Amino acid sequence: MQFKSDLVTWSSTYSVGIKVIDEQHKGLFNLVNDMYNHVVNDKTAELAYFKEIIQEAVSYVKVHFATEEKIMTSAKFQGYAEHKKAHDSFILAIVDNIRDYEAGKRLTLASFTHFLKDWILTHIAIMDKQYFEYFRKIATRKANGELSIPSAGIA
């Protein structure tokens, strides 16, 4: 398969300053780029790939959301309820899009991939930055420059 350029490229502007979260976000970028590189304008091949990758993608997103939510509750982040609601809404939107795509309705692999990219970028840039700003206020900085939030298990 001929690979295209990435649909989305990680940069420090997306960093929330928490290593485990940043690594998971990079994984989401890789997932979106992998999906993008499987857009070959062959519905049969794209659907076969989609069926192969989608459960892995949903599992990855659920693990990522659980990680974020655990850190937020441990650190007593006041925006937790709103953030959790955004996560839950995204999961429901994904499930609806999966159903539509598999039923051959309105979606293509390309449009589904763009939907994921747009949501992930917006979510990281706006919502995730909110908890990062909060964490930065309550964190202490270690000698090596990393932030430490013992109550949230981030040391």
Quick one: pLDDT at residue 150? 64
Average pLDDT over residues 71-79: 89
How is the chain split into domains, by residue range? 26-152
| Residue labelled with tokens 């040391």 | 155
By the 10 Å C-beta count (0-12 exposed, 13-18 middle, 19+ buried), 120 is classed as buried
Quick one: pLDDT at residue 155? 56
Record: fold of 26-152: Four Helix Bundle (Hemerythrin (Met), subunit A) (1.20.120)
Alpha-helical regions (H) of the chain: 19-36, 43-74, 80-102, 109-122, 129-138
pTM score: 0.83
How far is the C-alpha of 5 from the C-alpha of 14, rounded, in Å? 19
Per the prediction, the chain carries an average pLDDT of: 85
Residue 21 has pLDDT above 50, yes or no: yes
Quick one: pLDDT at residue 74? 85
